[in-house]
Structure 1
Amino acid sequence: MSLKIRLARGGSKKRPYYTIVVADARSPRDGRFLEKLGSWNPMLAKDDAKRVELNAERIQDWLAKGAQPTDRVLRFLAEAGIAQRDAKNNPEKAKPGKKAQERAKERAAKAAEAESAEA
């Protein structure tokens, strides 16, 4: 049986509230789960202590039993110091494309010409 530590959505329309649960990977998102391990309320401020609540002891037990956290839950666990998360950063993604870089060079050249003409 493949176990996942994942989010189960609750709350009303446009007012999400998630519980962190351990469930069989084949069960539906909001369906049957084995145990509730915490909660996440994205409507609260990011610095609010009640935004993410975790039962660290039970989470560590489930991780020892082989449960795999999802990406979002792993991010919460890394912030709490329970699990290690590899940095997923793509610095190339933020760079502008070739045509945008060419346009920026052209603008810089025109600005340099305008400065030299004024001087």
Structure 2
Amino acid sequence: MRGSIDPAGRVLHARCQEWYAKQLATLLSKLGEKDPLDPAHTILENSVVLWCSEIADGQAHNCQSLPLVMMGGGGGYLKGKQIVNLGARSHAGLLLSLCESMGVNGIDVGNGGAAGALREVKA
């Protein structure tokens, strides 16, 4: 039934998200090892992992207030241990920041990229 909340479906969705989170934890554990090319840092410190959903509210089918979790330091380019509220800004600025952390500059990411990369996430 359109517009109604299916409790069984929400439980199944939560179980799927739990499985994804466990896979992420396994990946992060492995990335926590010393980087063989840069033994002074971990692989995660020299990488970036972005974890998000494709939609913020499945019931309403919208992407407003989409939670994004970014882990890793991008080789020192990115600042961590913070919560950034984008407010009404598009997440395209975050994607631009990720591109820049990998040396990709001068591109446009979506309609919201016009504001540029997010200064808040740069180290």
TM-score scaled by length of structure 2: 0.22
TM-score scaled by length of structure 1: 0.22
| The structure with more radius of gyration | 1
Q: Which has the higher strand share?
A: 1
